[in-house]
Structure 1
């Protein structure tokens, strides 16, 4: 991994540490304070702390390059020489495509040069002197601020520089060189100090050209009506937001009805007053999101073009006004339809009121039977809500207050109908996830209709992190925003056999009326958003997630604990860290070691434990802190459990070598356990070999005895019994009397 604090990186190019840069620069990239002036009377050449960075009189070195060459050997194009002195003007020079490095060395009068590209995907680059020694802070007048401002991300370089503008063709097969003048570069530097700009043109083919973006901002203009590119506007918009350091695109979904149509809204807060854009009305949410992304992208591009063209930005977007008109028209139409339907229902209910009054029990049975037919309920509703349960024309009247439709959605949240949710009014958006905050109006009833807390207060629950009975938490996890429902909870998922005296009797079911008024979703940021975080923001987020994981572990909620710890690891990914100080670097590594060790411990606590993952996370923890005795302890335990005794012995010895006093007793106890296992393993192996050799010895002894008996005894078998087919029980043919005599003679 690249060291964030090294002073010489990438071909020995000199840069400053993040701490030094932060003390010398402001957010606009200019240096703070007064730079030391160059003292012409001082002998810098003999100063051992200062390498040969500059040539005092460099104009005579540039004279051959200030005019086009008379007999060029390759293509000639314009570049810009950037002196390190900010008060010296930029100089136009002519260079040839061939041997650029040698030409730069002549202008620098230096034995080596290196290239630095302006950004990761930008083909334009800067020439710098290939320095092997960083200048002392006393000589910060050598820093080339103008050249440093061109870099993305910004870096501090010393000495003169040369800017060469290049680009890659559409097929990305070769690089083309372009002219750039000092006047054009001055415009680029002026706008770079004002903000960050995005290359909308080259993004379509995966490259970047910040110089062309500023010099020719209207090289591509997106159409407001049709999208003709293969890359989707949503993808380009998210890349733009990440480039300028904003959160990813997360519009607000508007449901005109439960199943559509839909529209989406997005508010841009970096303008005064904030600007809200709206999509058209679409049957699918994804189409509404894509339409809104297209409109937002066009708005951002139009504003950037106006800024770079020194023109006033005219905001002619009226999408939100059009949305409000469409919404008002829909609501008026819906209100008229609802009023007509209510008037019709009222007249029908009055005509059948007497009939329903006499047959309420039959209505209950009929409604319950229809719900059984749907396969969603196994116990009659009247068993849950006696005796204040009345069946009307098209709904049940529960507790003389709540109208439960006959065709309501019924969800079993626990086996055997022990937690059942009856939906009175459907909700919108998505159900909350772990850690979300839900605001719910709660009323608690006993089965006989007794209301325990009719205070009509809205309560806030932080799901998964705030204690409440299990059945209520399951119901809250399943509810959407604006949803209303009744939830029946068996004592097993409520207050148990003992109840909650004096309000809840022992072994009594509980019925809740829940009205979800609002949800604050807990959304973990994407990798693109995390990459824009500073080190301080990452450390703060990691600390919060670790506290939540500890709370979940204390309640033995190991699944939630693992989720929180794995989320925390995303913030300390070493591949995307910005520049940080030494103390911040040590804090990140300490967090990484602790998180990986806690993940390893959690995997050893679940049932059944997964010791292979415990081993893997301990190894990952040691990548952050090599001498972490706690990680070494659990690594040795995992090796012992999976019977890798050789690695267990090596690991425990290393853990004892680096272990602290608090953990030493546990380390020594584990070492003895490993030694016993090794001794038992050796004893078993010894017994196996002993048994094997004893068996070999017995077989050899039996073979010798049989051979001896075979040599001393001759068997004679009558011919009439076997007709000369003689078989020796020792594995060889019997021999006849005559053959035996011959053998004896031999």
Structure 2
């Protein structure tokens, strides 16, 4: 339904008449709009149009990509709205005109325009208030959760970390959001087998001291990470504390039972190892002593062919002796020892015969 023209500025330099109502929000400075438009001069000459293009014209408010009057008009429109605009030279091409578009100097302009859709401009983080950052963190958490449900844990971890950087509120609501993101990061890291990081995020969530439900989750996530890190005593302590908070929680009960069993098995294995080590020690000691006794016996009997004293024993054996002419015992000379026994015997016989004759 068409309406009467209304002034959008005080000096009536931009007027708008709605041809078709739109709905929803209106764009602001920085918004990226998709529009259809046609511009004509007072005599009806078309000087610019997007209607002959394959796709809508992309226009960013605040950059004055066309003329100032269009920026003002678009900020008053809703998605789906069609409007007719009357724009004076001060909000159009001014006293210079536009030779490229054949717009003369000081020309009054008429536009028919339709707002197809737009994307709201995002503020930079440093431009946001704490409340705006809080809302942005919530939005990012939602995106992270969607990635987690698709088992895209790495992408979810990245989004949650980014969301955490927007958490600046120090109120209870702000702390609960921060704890929620840290708990989500803890489970993401667990799925990615980054157990140390998973443990650290669970600890940080606990430090915030938020509501009981979040504390219970933090203790449970902390216990899961400790189990993977083989810190079973720590895990047992976490689960016992969680059990005190909620003795009906099936997940806590199940993990508590499992950790007790793991500890029992670990202690039995440890006991078995120590028992084997102790028995081995006794066995080693019993092997050493008999060897010492055998060595002593070998030395006393002199039976070993490798006895180091064997050489000494050879050197102290009695040297061979002979009886001389006078009946005295003397040491046998080496040359005599080397003579053949037959010659020695003959000499001895001669000595005996001579002795008998002289007698």
Q: Tell me the TM-score normalised to structure 1 length.
A: 0.25
Larger Rg: 2
Bigger share in helix: 2
Q: Tell me the TM-score normalised to structure 2 length.
A: 0.49
